Amino acid sequence: MSFNPKHILGIKNLTADEINFILDTAESFKEINTRQIKKVPTLRGKTIINLFYEASTRTRTSFEIAGKRLSADTVNISASGSSVVKGETLEDTAKNIQAMHPDIIVMRHNASGACQYLADRLDCSVVNAGDGMHEHPSQALLDAFTIRQHKGSINGLTVAIIGDITHSRVVRSNIYCLNKLGAKVRLAGPGTMLPTGIEKLGCEVFNNLEDAIRDADVVMMLRIQRERQGTPLIPSVREYARFFGLNGNKMELAKKDAIVMHPGPINRGVELGTAIADGPQNVILNQVENGVAVRMALLYLVAGGEKLNSD
C-alpha cells in the first residue's frame, strides 16, 4: 500500500491499514538497532528539530536516536533553555525555526492541539510527541508494536488501562489505536480521574482495578500526572496505591500470560509494586526499545514520498 503522510498528529485519523503499515515499517527498522554499526543513510541531509515544551527523557531521546540512526541531523530545543522563557509565542518560535529550513519538527507541548496548530502554519512536517491531554501517537504505536510482538496479533485481545485517564494523552491514542486493530479496551481509575463520556471513544469503564484486569491479556498502568492536576484528585498517594496500584496478588486476576505495560516514567510503589516493576510479566523496557524503531518508521514515512498536498 502507499502511505505518505505529511504529518503524524494523532491516531484518530489513521486507518487500521495505515497503522499496520507503520508497524510493519518499524519491524524492518528494528533490525538496525541491534547492529554493531547502528546507522543507515536513509534520511541523510534532513534536519529534524525536537521542540519540547515539556519535560521528557524517553520520548525526546528516542526521537533523537531514531533521527540519528537514519542519518538525519537532529537538534533539540527545550522550552526551559530557549526564548520561550523570554516570552516568545509558539507561532513566533515555530516561524523562526522554519526560517532555518528544517524538514521535520517533532513537538511536545502542554496545550492540546498545539501540533495541529503548527502543522496548519508551517511548510515542514510535524510529528506529535504528545500534546496536552490530546494524543501521543508514537506512544500508542510503540505500545501496539510491543503487544503484537508478545501476543502475535492485537485482534481480539482485552487491554485494561488503569490510572489517571483524564489527564492521559497516552490513553486517548491507545483507545483509538487498539480499537482500530480490534482489541477490547477497559479503563479503570478513581472516579475523579475518569472523564464522563470517555466510553464513547469505544471502551468499557470500571471503577475498580480488579474488575478491569480480570482475564485481561494486557494490563497498561499509567502514572498519576501530578503536574497536570490543579486540585488534588486523590486523598493520598498511599490510598491510590492500595486501590489502583498493581501488585502480584491483583495480577493473578489477569490471564496467566498477561503482560504489564507502562508508558513511563514509573512511580515505583504507587501504580506498580516492586514485584511487578521487576517481574517477568512486565515488558516496559521492551516498549522503550521498540519506541526507537517505531519513531524511525514515523520519521521515514513523513520524510519520504512525494507529498501531493500541503495539508
Q: Which residue has the cell 506529535?
A: 128
**Rounded distance between C-alpha atoms, residue 96 and residue 257, angstroms:** 51
Q: Which is nearer to other proteins, 67 or 132 (CB)?
A: 67
The reply on whether position 9 binds other proteins by CB under 8 A is: no
Is position 136 annotated as part of the catalytic site? yes
Q: Which is nearer to other proteins, 42 or 192 (CB)?
A: 42
Q: How far is the CB of 226 from other proteins (least distance, A)?
A: 40
The reply on whether position 15 binds other proteins by CB under 8 A is: no
The reply on whether position 13 binds other proteins by CB under 8 A is: no
Vertex 300: Cα angle to 33 and 296 (nearest 5): 30
Q: How far is the CB of 83 from other proteins (least distance, A)?
A: 32
Q: Compose the 68-97 pattern: x for residues touching other proteins by CB under 8 A, - for all others.
A: --x---------------------------
Contacts of 196 (CB under 8 A, 6+ apart): none
User: What distances in angstroms separate CA 69 from CA 39, 50, 174, 302, one per listed residue?
Assistant: 4, 15, 26, 16
The reply on whether position 268 binds other proteins by CB under 8 A is: no
The reply on whether position 18 binds other proteins by CB under 8 A is: no
* Residue 307, all three cell numbers: 507529498
Is position 86 annotated as part of the catalytic site? yes
Q: Which is nearer to other proteins, 38 or 121 (CB)?
A: 38
The residue among 227, 215, 209, 193 whose CA lies nearest residue 161 is 209
Is position 180 annotated as part of the catalytic site? no
The reply on whether position 149 binds other proteins by CB under 8 A is: no
Is position 108 annotated as part of the catalytic site? yes
**Rounded distance between C-alpha atoms, residue 171 and residue 239, angstroms:** 22
**Rounded distance between C-alpha atoms, residue 37 and residue 27, angstroms:** 18
The reply on whether position 28 binds other proteins by CB under 8 A is: yes
Q: How far is the CB of 150 from other proteins (least distance, A)?
A: 19
**Rounded distance between C-alpha atoms, residue 184 and residue 186, angstroms:** 7
**Rounded distance between C-alpha atoms, residue 138 and residue 129, angstroms:** 7
Is position 146 annotated as part of the catalytic site? no
The reply on whether position 65 binds other proteins by CB under 8 A is: no
**Rounded distance between C-alpha atoms, residue 64 and residue 199, angstroms:** 35
The reply on whether position 124 binds other proteins by CB under 8 A is: no
Positive or negative torsion for Cα 113, 179, 140, 101: negative
The reply on whether position 35 binds other proteins by CB under 8 A is: yes
| Catalytically annotated residue among 86, 101, 200, 256 | 86
* Residue 235, all three cell numbers: 486523598
The piece of 32-40, 214-222, 258-266, 282-290 that touches other proteins (CB under 8 A) is: 32-40
- Residue from 25, 50, 74, 287 binding other proteins (CB under 8 A): 25
Q: How far is the CB of 137 from other proteins (least distance, A)?
A: 18
**What secondary structure letter does DSSP report for 206?**
E
Contacts of 95 (CB under 8 A, 6+ apart): 121, 122
Question: Catalytic site residues?
Answer: 58-59, 86, 108, 136
Residues binding other proteins (CB under 8 A)? 1-4, 21, 24-25, 27-29, 31-32, 35-37, 39-43, 70, 300-301, 303-306
